[in-house]
Structure 1
């Protein structure tokens, strides 16, 4: 099958926005500053990553199955490996060397969290190690890799399920996934467990699968949504943006079960608005936010390393940099390193993907 899949404009921009939410969450913003209101939405950024991933993976699998009647599962997994594994294992190697690097730079290491179990890290099980210890690894960027573990588990689970079930059963899979995650979140809350596994995050991917299914199988729905005026769509998008910052600042226990569904519905709508044939929400590929979105994988993994390194250097040199200046320096360094990583290290592996379509 040739690589003729639809290009989704705006998605790179949405990825970069999701990264910015995570980045702001890790910046040392003073609690007394109004900006702290915006720095609490890191989890929302991760959720949006999951929803986007659910859409793209479901679209890829459904598009292949609808055209050929089958899914070449081996090639699908190889493409995922080429995208995820090189930088993932590069970061594990960096994390392993971190104590020696800090010692060489005469910088202090973290005394918070657990010493990594490298076997758990290597086999995409860091999220379960964090759940078992109710803590986080003491080296960067391992503490972020629970999300990549969930992504990897999703690829395997979703790929195998989609391989076997007929397309007409996909809505049942989506609904079952949403119910499953909701139930397991309640169970984990009762047991005092962190929601850091696929079972408690599966609904986010499932919500992303909804627009993918509609695009492939129910295209008339996309046409109907296209008829909604652009002003209404921008109004809804603005409400979604406001909710993304407002909900994390609320502490009502009821939100524990309501917020995931609300996020899922909101982000599903946002994706649908970008898929419209007219009156679509569109951020062109030549905009800076879209161009930076290409490097999101590296941005996500490198930013925590840069932030922690700059914090330690600032403490050692007693620089006393204001948090906003610190943010600009950290973001600039993260972007430059991520761009270098993409073109020098990641792209050679990405070029190999063309052999597995």
Structure 2
């Protein structure tokens, strides 16, 4: 099964397994940001725990998945042709990311929800993760934009030396180690915020996904050997869950080694979901989460607009002394509904039409699968 060749336009074949992972990530982000109505209920607290605890971890999952998918697009070409068409890649990424993103910025300019000096220049130049933005959720998009420039340039340099796949993996792993060391020093120096959002401290979350893509496309026997070890994958995913529950409470530890642990665990989660979620793939819950994942980018961009209506509902529920648990359920459901509807509408109205234009002007190259080491032999 190819995970990288599917278009994002409506009707094109998609990997529901990867959409399921996107859905899990965006649900974690929404749940973390959404405002809650106090109930005092232990049952509600238990339901809210995964929603209110792992918003940043949802972003980390997006990073690793993006590295796997975007790295896969480049490494597939590298494996088949021994070269990288960086210009074509960047142009296609622009059509995918920028239209919906700049519509969001235009909306905030016209609506006046934030003073212009709190977001405009930062967001237009994709430097909001360094200089801050009142459209707070967009910091992660800056990290990904920087990654989209860094990775093809790195692979072009490696391609000039006809680099073997093991060397590519060694270079990527070395960069991850350097990022971990630099991030650990930043955390130790009290730069907690910088360690969480600056590109040079977060790039490794994406690069671990790229390394997984390198195995998938360039060392398929190694990938298959890992994928066949179901028990190991389960143990790694279980270790990830334990870290999320207990390790993330120690913020300095989580922001240093923790991001690395998460990236490795998310790689295992991706492989496990792709290879072993078949028995539940047709369940209504799985498909519903996968459907949400299809619109995850639009939802991520626009979900903060659900917060103001939620605050209004919370004030009204408090003033009317409504029963706490039903009020909580209604307010949370309203936020999810608003965010998902906004994401659905904007994706259909903006993202999908621009993807059709992109595929007409710069169609994806269709080539018979050729998963092999670019040198023709396994080092």
TM-score normalised per structure 2:
0.78
Q: Is the 8 A contact 2:237 2:266 kept in 1?
A: no
SS in 1 for 2:194: coil
| Higher deviation after alignment, 327-336 or 281-290 | 281-290
Distance 1:75 1:288 in 2: 34
Match of 2:277 in 1: 281
CA shift in 2, pair 1:35/1:65, >3 Å: same
CA shift in 2, pair 1:284/1:35, >3 Å: closer
Deviation digits for residues 200-249 of structure 1, max 9, x if unmatched?
A: 101101111121011111111122234334x764565455345434433x
Counterparts of 1:5-24 in structure 2, within 5 Å, are 5=5, 8-24=15-31
Equivalenced residue count is 330
Match of 1:128 in 2: 130
Q: Which structure 2 segments of 5+ residues have no match?
A: 7-13, 365-379
Match of 1:220 in 2: 221
CA shift in 2, pair 1:188/1:242, >3 Å: closer
- Answering whether residue 274 of structure 2 is matched by residue 261 of structure 1, we say no
Q: Which structure 1 segments of 5+ residues have no match?
A: 103-108, 131-135
Match of 1:25 in 2: 32
CA shift in 2, pair 1:319/1:45, >3 Å: farther
Deviation digits for residues 29-75 of structure 1, max 9, x if unmatched?
A: 45963445321210100000000011111111010111122111111
Distance 2:95 2:206 in 1: 21
How far is the alpha carbon of 1:185 from its aligned partner? 1.2
Q: Which of 333, 336, 346 in structure 1 is aligned with 2:351?
A: 346
Q: Which one has the bigger helix percentage?
A: 2
Match of 2:49 in 1: 37
TM-score normalised per structure 1:
0.83
Counterparts of 1:142-181 in structure 2, within 5 Å, are 142-166=135-159, 167-168=163-164, 169-181=167-179
How far is the alpha carbon of 1:320 from its aligned partner? 6.5
How far is the alpha carbon of 1:316 from its aligned partner? 7.0
Match of 1:331 in 2: 336
SS in 2 for 1:216: helix
Q: Could you say what the CA RMSD is over the residues aligned between the two structures, in angstroms?
A: 2.8
CA shift in 2, pair 1:72/1:255, >3 Å: closer
